Amino acid sequence: MRWTLLVGLLCFAAGAGAGEVGQIKAAKGAVFLERQGQRLPATVGMPVQESDSLITGADGSAGVTFSDNSLLSVGPGSVLAIERYAFDSTTHSGHFEASLKKGTLAVVSGKMVKHSPDAMRVRTPSAIMGVRGTEFVVKVIEPGS
C-alpha cells in the first residue's frame, strides 16, 4: 500500500518534470536540443522541456515560444540552457531562468513577467539580467571559442 503511494508520487513528479514548457517554432541549419546528456536534432514543432539546452551550429538559428508567451531565439554558434521554468496559466505566476553560454540570444518577455517583474532571469558567464517586460538581445563571445 505504502509502496503504491510512493510509486504514484514518483510517477507524478516525473510527469511534471518532463512537461512541455515550450515549442520550437523556427529551426534553420544545424540545431540540437541537449536533454539528459543526449543530443537530439531539433525540428519545428518539437517540444522544449525544462533543463533542455538549445544548441546551434555555425549555420544554425532557432526560435522557441514558451507557454507564458515568452519568445526566445538564438543565432549561429549558440548554447542556451533553459535552467528553470514553471508557469501557472491561471495565476500567471512562475519563474524562468535561462543561461546563454555563448552565441547570440533575442528575448521577448511574456505573461509571467507582466504578472511579477522578478519572474525572469537571463544569465551570461559574467552577469545576471533581470527583465521588466521588454525585448532585448544578448551576445557572448568566449575567448578562443
Partner 1 sequence: MFALVFGALVILGAIYAQPAAREEIVVVLPSPDGHTGTVIVQRGGERYVLNQPFAASRLTGEQSATAQLSDAEVRQSFGVALEALPVPPTTFLLYFVTGTDELTDESKEELKQILAELKHRPVPDIMVVGHTDTVGELEANDLLSAQRAERMKGFLVEIGIPGRQIQTAGRGEREPLVPTADNIDEPRNRRVEINVR
Q: Quick check: 41 binds partner 1 (CB under 8 A)?
A: no
Largest CA distance in the chain: 58
Per-position b or e across 7-28, b if 16+ CB within 10 A of its CB: eeeeeeeeeeeeeebbebeebe
- Please state, as a whole number, how many other Cβ atoms lie within 10 Å of the Cβ of residue 132: 10
- Mapped onto helix, strand or coil, the DSSP state of residue 10 is helix
For residue 14, the minimal CB distance to partner 1 (Å) is 24
Q: Quick check: 131 binds partner 1 (CB under 8 A)?
A: yes
Phi, psi of 105 (to 5 degrees): -140, 135
Q: Quick check: 108 binds partner 1 (CB under 8 A)?
A: yes
Answer for which of 34, 49, 71, 83 binds partner 1 (CB under 8 A) is 71
Q: Quick check: 99 binds partner 1 (CB under 8 A)?
A: no
Q: What is the CA radius of gyration of the chain?
A: 16
Size of the site for partner 1 (CB under 8 A): 45
Q: Quick check: 132 binds partner 1 (CB under 8 A)?
A: yes
Cell of 20: 512541455
Answer for which of 30, 69, 81, 101 binds partner 1 (CB under 8 A) is 69
For residue 118, the minimal CB distance to partner 1 (Å) is 10
Q: Quick check: 6 binds partner 1 (CB under 8 A)?
A: no
Parallel, antiparallel or unpaired: strands 61-66 and 79-87: unpaired
Interaction site with partner 1 (CB under 8 A): 23, 25-26, 28, 44-45, 61-65, 69, 71, 73-76, 78, 104-106, 108-109, 124-145
